[in-house]
A and B are shown apart, each in its own frame.
Chain A
Amino acid sequence: MSEKVLMKGNEAIAEAAIRAGCRHYFGYPITPQTEVAAYMAKRMPKIGGCFLQAESEIAAINMVYGVAGAGKRVMTSSSSPGISLKSEGLSYLAGSDLPAFVVNVQRGGPGLGGIQPSQSDYFQATKGGGHGDYKMIVLAPASVQEMASLTIKGFDLADKYRMTAMILADGTMGQMMEPVELGDVEVKEYDKSWAVTGTKCRRAHNIVNSLSLVPEELEQLNFARYERYKAVEENEVMYESYLMDDAEICVVAFGISARVSKNAINEARKNGIKVGMIRPITLWPFPKAPLLAAAEHCLTFLSVEMNMGQMIEDIELAIRCKRPVQLVNRVGGMIPSPEQVLQAIEEADKGGKAS
């Protein structure tokens, strides 16, 4: 067992990526994720890797495209406005079926917004952002340890399904320090016979491209891609279930909102309120089945998120609107307090008893 060290979430992502075999990082500085780039700038030259500060976010994501096309593990990181700039590249990565790893340490928006924590890029991450039919695997860490472990997982999932895996964190998760244990990582090898690595005149050219002008062929490419997405939905859903066995109220929250909610749930339990939480760890694929199962015994759902109500739509779909879902939120860089969540739980409890 390796020693526990204190690390910022941003640093844990960077170190975990290196341990997962990533030797190519392209980025452009933006608060609150700058420590990822700073860590890479310090470490990459010492281990024969490449750290490059690009001239813009758009340049950085296209450098990611290039290395991914060559079959090497590669990443970029940014925060909300920067991810918007990278979104064209995310669509091209999807259209070319390339594995890539992207980090979004969210801040308040829209526009330049602010620099304090937010979760308002949920739609952008889970529903697209770039154009066209595509999905990304979206991972939502709720501890510094998970910032590391989900980074390693993200690289594996990206390679396995030839798609982009994104860490969707927020300013708090990026900036906070917690004990983290970073053991040696077994870097798995995936088939990359599609990669553009030079034929040495021994094989036909591999072509990595997102352009397909024959509609019949483009349709088939989309169908094939969605077959892979279906496999992701069947095999890769991750979530944490907290005190759900006897729960009558189900809190749904991810990342820092889940941390705050846990305090509120523990307090409510002391007062005899039967409340639990389902914490999605993958936001796509979304944990639909456990939520639908929870709708059997939970009378009310609370969606705690730092946006104007985004994940709440996925909850309503997952439970097929069988139960009411209340939004508990703060926005603009504000974080809900445990008291705010507790109050919502108490109101849901009273409401449940009245009906």
Chain B
Amino acid sequence: MMNQILIAGFGGQGVLFAGKFLAYKGLIEGKQVSWLPSYGPEMRGGTANCSVIVGDEPIGSPIVNAPNTLIAMNLPSLQKYENAVVPGGLILVDSTLIAEKVSRTDVRVCYVPATKLANDSGFSTLANMILIGKLLKESEDMRFDHTEDALKKVIPARKMNLLDVNLKALETGYNFAE
């Protein structure tokens, strides 16, 4: 099983961080992993995305052209990548920021008002981790485990006081019912 995940949104939404979390979680679970960011003249407010592959086989290309899972955190990202998702794949949409619905009928879609949930819960910058929490719930080959270990690997030491809110954000997404 190869889980090819594409996370896309604005710079500053924590797209790369969310990807790193999934990669580290996979590594801790003994999977093969790769993480590849888009890079360029990008800045806060511009577009950002990252390719994450988690699987049992050695990974060839680290570039995700045909994701099984797309996390779209803004409208341009949904429009750009919706059609790239493989049939039967999963699309997670931050429905606070994206009013449009996914037009495809051959994929599974979860609308999560992640930005609103984050604001209401007092961790306004963690919509990314709410969506990841929902992914852990919906994905067939991921579980809600090793989350704390993985977070400890990706949160810089000087910001470790944010461990608890990250965990809460993951739980908020995991427990969210549409």
Contacts and interface: CB of A to CB of B under 8 A. Distances in A.
A175 interface: yes
Given A115-B39, A175-B39, A178-B33, A4 B61 contact: no
Contacts of A115: 39-41
A179 B62 contact: no
Contacts of B60: 259-263, 266, 338
A177, A178, A262: residue with the most chain B Cβ atoms closer than 10 Å: A177
A178 B34 contact: yes
B20 interface: yes
B35 A6 contact: yes
Nearest to A341: B61
A311 to B, nearest CB: 19
A71 interface: no
B63 interface: yes
A4, A6, A259, A262: residue with the most chain B Cβ atoms closer than 10 Å: A6
A187 interface: no
Interface residues of B, number: 19
A345 interface: no
Nearest to A267: B60
A335 interface: yes
Contact of A6 (B20, B37, B40, B62): B20
B75 interface: no
A172 B60 CA distance: 13
A32 interface: yes
Interface residues of A, number: 23
Across chains A and B, which 10 residue pairs bring their CB atoms closest together, nearest first? A263-B60, A262-B60, A177-B35, A176-B36, A260-B61, A259-B61, A263-B61, A176-B62, A259-B60, A178-B34
Interface of A: 4, 6, 31-32, 115-116, 171-172, 175-179, 256, 259-263, 266, 335, 337-338
Nearest to B19: A177
Contact of A178 (B62, B65, B153): B62
Contacts of A171: 39
A338 B149 CA distance: 34
A256 B62 CA distance: 9
A12 B47 CA distance: 26
Nearest to A338: B61
Interface string B59-88: 111110100000000000000000000000
B36, B37, B60, B61: residue with the most chain A Cβ atoms closer than 10 Å: B61
Contacts of B27: 4, 6, 179
